Structure 1
């Protein structure tokens, strides 16, 4: 039990350190949808954002979960104007892939979200690209395409209200909805 508590404290401390080290470069998401404008094709660009991990709790780490148990962490976060999966979330995605492979009757909806910056249309497309990136990752890991559905909510369902970088970072996400 002491180990779980220490892991939680460490995860929160690391999240706060990453958040404190982040700074916004400004800009807009109103770039061309064909990838020729904006923040360099929209992949792997922008600020790092917060590495806050949520879901039903910070409980056990993704690497400790059994393949047959539903992973606790059900949200991954993205950098500003990016659909690139960040390396720190690969263990979370691996845990979901193991669960879905072990449970062929289970299905998941990948819900793509963005912060409020950018047009409604751009944000819907960005949310879909983010969820699609997760879908492709799961597919490469052997998850059946029939188990995965993708939906984008764009900026319409924020996790955090506000106009700060911290709120924006919490809204740039994909949620696993089982």
Structure 2
């Protein structure tokens, strides 16, 4: 047998063996669902300024974002609902939404991205019943990092909007 025929025969046998092997179905792993963060409603059904420090949902005041994104992740929807209810219950309350980014990108781009993130949180609060007159969006871009290392774990902590109560 010549060399070309041998190579063709070996290739044919390999293809045949691969075709006869069992296919294993790979199932994508599902992330475990997080239980919604809920607290019993205050006795009167309305939030008070003291609840900002005692209610687990209201104490969560940072919303994190994916790289170069301004969409709110599903795990932060409950937090948006809690803060919006607080705004409804406390018409004199005021919030400053501070948009931040990681260090990558130009100063101008990051200021714009920080503002888009702040506006996304503002829109979510308004969609849940908060008033636009109670919200103020500020973008710091990459100017106020909480972590200064140069890796993804650190950058993910800097891609955030902080919810700051300026009047309770």
TM-score relative to the length of structure 1: 0.64
Q: Distance in 2 between matches of 1:155 and 1:64?
A: 34
* Counterpart residue number, 1:39: none
Greater C-alpha Rg: 2
Task: Tell me which of 61, 86, 89 is aligned to 1:102.
Answer: 89
Tell me if the contact between 2:80 and 2:128 (Cα under 8 Å) persists in the aligned partners. no
Q: Distance in 1 between matches of 2:37 and 2:130?
A: 17
* Counterpart residue number, 2:132: 145
1:64 equivalent to 2:39? Answer yes
* Counterpart residue number, 1:134: 121
Q: Distance in 2 between matches of 1:135 and 1:122?
A: 20
Task: Tell me which of 98, 101, 104 is aligned to 1:117.
Answer: 104
* Counterpart residue number, 2:29: none
Superposition RMSD on alpha carbons, in Å? 1.3
* Counterpart residue number, 1:161: 148
Q: Distance in 1 between matches of 2:102 and 2:81?
A: 25
Flag as ranges the 4+ runs of structure 1 deviating above 2 A. none
Tell me if the contact between 1:62 and 1:95 (Cα under 8 Å) persists in the aligned partners. no
Counting matched residue pairs gives: 118
Report SS of the residue matched to 2:102: coil
List alignment gaps of at least 5 residues for structure 2.
Answer: 1-35, 53-57
TM-score relative to the length of structure 2: 0.67
Tell me if the contact between 1:65 and 1:95 (Cα under 8 Å) persists in the aligned partners. no
* Counterpart residue number, 1:73: 60
How far has the Cα of 1:62 moved from its partner?
A: 3.9
List alignment gaps of at least 5 residues for structure 1.
Answer: 1-60
How far has the Cα of 1:79 moved from its partner?
A: 0.2
